[in-house]
Amino acid sequence: MKAVERVPIKTFEDLECWKQCRSLRLFVATKFVPNLPKEERYRLGDQLLRAARSTTANIAEGYGRFHFLDNAKFCSNARGSCWEVLDHLITGSDEGFISSEMLDRGRSLVDQAVKLLNGYLNYLKRASAVKSVPDRPITDNAAQSGAAGPVARMIDGRCRATSVLAGV
């Protein structure tokens, strides 16, 4: 079995789920929408682009929240947007705007994105359930940023925001 190299996550752009959603968004923008009839570019095309853009935007916004469960909520929204993209692709196929091969490619991209999002969501939920020792940050990306500001800490068994240097 080949060993998997662990690469530190420094930004949302390092997340595999974001990379896959980006591939989905680019597929929609460069392969699907240009093939739509002109009048559908402003109907179905607009809805599809918004849903595809929402996948990466929600992952990025959640990553910036610095709290596991906040991040998970946004990733859940991104997952919903992936399914919305698939529904719009199916609509495009049903109405004869795209080939079955293009639908299959889109479906594959959605499936891969959802699998990666599910894995990341499982990680976030497991990480949020871990009991943190007092005065230890419960976020992983806050400490990596090295930024000063509010950091969630466990105090008397409750999560509290404190204003300290992250990782200190």
- Fold of the domain spanning 12-130: de novo design (two linked rop proteins) (1.20.1440)
- The domain segmentation of the chain, as residue ranges, is 12-130, 131-168
**Cα–Cα distance between 163 and 114 in angstroms, integer?**
35
- Residue-wise pLDDT for 140-161, tens only, equals 444 444 443 333 444 444 444 3
- Residue-wise pLDDT for 86-105, tens only, equals 999 999 999 999 999 999 99
Model confidence pTM above 0.85: no
Mean pLDDT for the stretch of residues 112-116: 98
For the chain, how far is it from start to end, CA to CA, in angstroms? 38
Q: What is residue 130's predicted lDDT score, i.e. its pLDDT? A: 79
Single out the residue of 140, 136, 166 nearest to residue 10, CA to CA: 140
**Cα–Cα distance between 92 and 112 in angstroms, integer?**
20
